[in-house]
Structures are given as structure tokens and as C-alpha cells.
């Protein structure tokens, strides 16, 4: 604790950690967009779909890594520095997930000027009883809301 209030307590360790996270995210997205057309069934001209998938898979990979940090830190002390900065990792993952959400909204739900994109996203598919036609968009919105509250309440500024 200190006498004066500082919203985020930055130190060299957090700067290096955040810099490495940003470098990882940028490298992953650039490499995914560059090399995914050869591996996936997507034409290089569908850049918006590639960007959407890049942000989505990056957020999922980051979430997986975040969830692994806690058990790894209990098994081996070398992972404790990752545990110390896990909140920054979570906030960064929320930002990447936000990029995915914005790309999805702009690509799939922005072509009809008469319908609000958010109404189209949540109201276009209502087949909740179907296994194959289940509206996964509602699960994505729920997951995004949960990630928002976790990111908002875990950042140094809010603590």
C-alpha cells in the first residue's frame, strides 16, 4: 500500500509481460491471416472471415492458457510469475474476444439496414430444440458478458 492512490501499479515485470502478450497476439493474428487460407477452407479474398477466425481462435487459445496457469503454478514454482500477471492476461483476452465479436457483427449481421445488427444476431435463429440448428450466438453473447464482468472486476484499476 502507498500513501497516494495509483490506478494501475505498473512495474518492469508487468510492462515486459504485457509487451510479450501484445507481441504474441499480433504475431498470432498476422500468421493466422497469412497462412490459414492454405490450411482452412477459406479463400484469401474472404479477409473478414479470416480476421474473425483469427480473433476467435486467439481468444480461445488465450483462455485455455489462462485456465492452465493456476494448476501449473501449484505444480511448479516456475509458473508463479505467470500467476502474478494472470489478470493482465485476462483483460488482454477480453480485448481479443471483443475484436472477434465486432468482426462477427460487422460481417454476418450488418447487411440489412432495416434491422439492428444486435436484434438480427439474437433473433434470427430461434431453434433452441434442435441439436444441429441450435443458436450458438446466444451462448457466445453469454460467454462474452461473463468475460466482460471478469475483465472489468479483475483489472488493477478496479481492484
Q: What is the pLDDT of residues 75-104, one digit of tens each?
A: 999 888 888 888 888 889 999 999 999 888
For the chain, helix, strand, coil in percent to 5 are 70, 0, 30
CA distance 64 to 151: 16
**Which of 82, 101, 81 has its CA nearest to residue 147?**
101
**Number of domains within the chain:** 1
Q: What is the pTM of this model?
A: 0.81
Residue pLDDT, tens place only, 104-136:
888 777 676 777 777 777 677 677 777 777 777
Does the pLDDT at position 67 exceed 80? yes
- Asked if residue 6 is part of any domain, the answer here is no
**Domain range enclosing 104:** 12-154
- Asked if residue 7 is part of any domain, the answer here is no
- Asked if residue 4 is part of any domain, the answer here is no
pLDDT attached to residue 157 = 65
Amino acid at each position: 500500500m502507498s500513501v497516494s492512490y495509483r490506478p494501475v501499479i505498473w512495474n518492469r515485470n508487468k510492462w515486459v509481460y504485457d509487451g510479450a502478450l501484445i507481441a504474441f497476439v499480433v504475431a498470432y493474428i498476422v500468421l493466422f491471416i497469412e497462412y490459414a487460407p492454405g490450411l482452412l477452407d477459406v479463400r484469401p479474398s474472404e479477409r473478414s472471415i479470416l480476421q474473425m477466425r483469427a480473433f476467435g481462435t486467439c481468444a480461445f487459445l488465450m483462455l485455455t492458457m489462462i485456465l492452465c496457469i493456476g494448476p501449473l503454478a501449484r505444480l511448479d514454482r516456475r509458473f508463479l510469475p505467470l500467476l502474478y500477471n494472470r489478470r493482465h492476461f485476462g483483460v488482454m483476452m477480453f480485448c481479443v474476444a471483443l475484436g472477434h465479436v465486432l468482426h462477427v457483427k460487422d460481417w454476418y449481421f450488418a447487411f440489412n439496414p432495416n434491422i439492428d445488427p444486435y436484434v438480427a444476431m439474437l433473433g434470427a435463429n430461434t431453434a433452441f430444440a434442435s441439436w444441429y440448428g441450435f443458436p450458438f450466438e446466444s451462448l457466445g453473447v453469454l460467454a462474452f458478458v461473463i468475460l466482460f464482468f471478469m475483465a472489468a472486476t479483475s483489472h488493477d484499476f478496479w481492484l
